[in-house]
Chain A
Amino acid sequence: MAPCYARFEDSDGIIQRVDIRIGVTKPAEIEHCLAHELCHAFGLRFHSTAAESVLSSVHGENRPTPADDLALSILYDPRLRPGAEFHEVAKTLEELTSKVTRDFGHHWAAVLPAASRIEILQNADNGYVSRYLRTRYPKKHINVDYAYWRGPRVFRPSAVVVLNTAERGYFIDDLPPLKDAIAKVGWLSRKTLQFGEQGKHKGHHGLLDTVKFRLESLDNTECLGFRQRLMSYPTIGSGSTDLLIGYLCANPGASLDMKIVGGLLQSVKIRGI
């Protein structure tokens, strides 16, 4: 028997009672089990590695993530009928996920720890990088460390994004859609990348690649994005899910300085591109 589990009593899709057993004793394990089983208890009763989640077997999350939050909020939308099978709600589910991600006003992403990158960017000409910490999801201790390029022609936070020490995946403003990528730079084994606090992300499956793209909204500034590929079974046409996990942009209107790129890749222990 699994050390932790949630046992349901339900009728016609309505949960009547849930019994959760936590059969581990180490505090970190208890914390993980509580978060995991409580997500199950609210109706997320299966597992997925398609996003960073406390229900994922590969992401090492100990707390519910924004993906879990989104899945919960969608599940309780009145347009979804309890007891329905997938084929009955597929279209509605697609509409709801599209709406909820649009409503958040962000692109889905997680980021890299990158203090060294910020130091590199502070030497850029014609602008500066501002860095600040803010907390999203109060009470959940999600410290989001942003670095933004602010130059003479750019008054709102935009390009440089890179960043840091979130305890969970989260949303970043202004990330470009991956379709904007114009060239694939190379493929890398995901295992060559070490990131996350205390190495908790080690052992991820999937691969990482880098892509070059240009931000039209910023004078076609050239950027380098880092992408994780999670393999997933073919529910939505393709068998994989791409996750943009961070990116670096040149000064507004400029192309990337490959020396900076090299330093960045070295700082996050990526071996070449």
Chain B
Amino acid sequence: MMPKCIFSICLAIGISMSLGACTSRITGSDQILIFAREVYFGGPNDKHVAVARELIRWNGPLRASIEGPGADDYRDQVTGYLEDFTRLTKLEASHVDEPGEANLVIVLSDGDSY
């Protein structure tokens, strides 16, 4: 028997679903599909975000720079992520020292400016 709390959650999120739907099981593929849709086009937590709901991605080489207090401490971390992500996306990426040459600019702030 389904506990009341589960059913309440189903009701609370406004889904008209049967008991069977509420307990239905989703495969790993379906889970990734839900996840991908939400991170590409917006999920429940993004309803307030006023940006176009369309696929966006890079089409050319990334030139990344990092600057700001302590930037040197995080350069390796950023480089590692860039390597991983470019392997996954087949993009090219490089690190540049001059922010003016970069199209992916990372700025560390000391927090005071916010």
Q: Given contacts A22-B109, A83-B54, are A30 and B74 in contact (CB under 8 A)?
A: yes
B3–A101 contact, CB under 8 A? no
B40–A75 contact, CB under 8 A? yes
B29–A98 contact, CB under 8 A? yes
**Which A60-85 residues have C-beta < 8 A from chain B?**
64, 67, 69-76, 80-85
Q: Select one of A16, A27, A50, A231 contacting B35, CB under 8 A.
A: A50
Is residue B50 within 8 Å, beta carbon to beta carbon, of the partner chain? no
A107–B110 CA distance with the chains assembled, in angstroms: 42
Residues of B within 8 A of A69 (CB): 84, 88
Residues of B within 8 A of A221 (CB): none
**Which B79-114 residues have C-beta < 8 A from chain A?**
80-85, 88-91, 103-111, 113-114
**Which B14-71 residues have C-beta < 8 A from chain A?**
15, 17, 21-46, 49, 51, 53-59, 68, 70
**Main SS at interface, chain A:** mixed
Is residue A161 within 8 Å, beta carbon to beta carbon, of the partner chain? no
B55–A55 contact, CB under 8 A? no
Number of A residues with CB within 8 Å of any CB on chain B: 93
Residues of A within 8 A of B57 (CB): 13-15, 42-43, 75-76, 82
A171–B17 CA distance with the chains assembled, in angstroms: 30
Please, which residue of chain B has its CB at the minimum distance from the CB of A100?
A: B32
A86–B33 CA distance with the chains assembled, in angstroms: 12
Residues of A within 8 A of B73 (CB): 27
A18–B105 contact, CB under 8 A? yes
Residues of B within 8 A of A3 (CB): 111, 114
Q: Given contacts A44-B40, A53-B39, A97-B32, are A20 and B56 in contact (CB under 8 A)?
A: no
A83–B55 contact, CB under 8 A? yes
Cβ of B35 to closest chain A Cβ, rounded Å? 4
B45–A35 contact, CB under 8 A? no
Residues of A within 8 A of B25 (CB): 178-179, 181, 242
Residues of B within 8 A of A81 (CB): 55
A residues with a Cβ closer than 8 A to B are 1, 3, 8, 10, 13-25, 27, 30-31, 34-35, 37-39, 41-51, 53, 55, 57, 64, 67, 69-76, 80-86, 89, 93-94, 97-98, 100-102, 106-109, 137, 139-140, 177-179, 181, 184, 187, 189, 207, 229, 231-243
Leading 8 A-B pairs by shortest Cβ distance: A108-B28, A48-B38, A76-B89, A178-B25, A43-B57, A239-B15, A51-B35, A97-B33
**18 A-B pairs whose Cβ atoms sit less than 8 Å apart in the complex:** A8-B51, A15-B56, A18-B104, A22-B106, A22-B109, A30-B108, A38-B78, A44-B39, A46-B49, A49-B45, A70-B36, A72-B88, A86-B53, A109-B28, A140-B80, A140-B84, A187-B3, A235-B34
